Structure 1
Amino acid sequence: MADDDWCKLSLDLESFDETPFRATLEGHLAAGLRFEDFTHLGDSNENRRRLHELNKACSRDIPNRGEF
């Protein structure tokens, strides 16, 4: 699974300003939520399935997204 083009989501961390999100992030971290990068978790079929399920759940909140 060396093909890195299967997931097109990205965030430019050099230009991203986290200030407006800091309080929310700290609240989630305090509640035990973990933020991990995919490289750290490992590129496996199981982790790809989990990412797909997460994207599917989050896509429900995007207007005019259509079925996922």
Structure 2
Amino acid sequence: MQGPNITMFLHYDIACQLKPHLQKNSPGLMVDTTFAVPAFHAYAHDADCQVTDGTRYVTGSGLADGE
């Protein structure tokens, strides 16, 4: 019997930079992990980052501020 399938949400102020770094250097850490930039920090990022990595747009993250 398998355990529950759990996805970890990592809210980090530079998740938009951390995600590509881990994909390149440690892809094993990416399994069942979703990255998002917390709402407070997203406004300091460019529009592309806000839309792709902001908590309001990451599926399953909702309106969490991540702080």
TM-score, normalised on structure 1?
Answer: 0.28
Higher helix share: 1
Larger Rg: 1
Greater fraction strand: 2
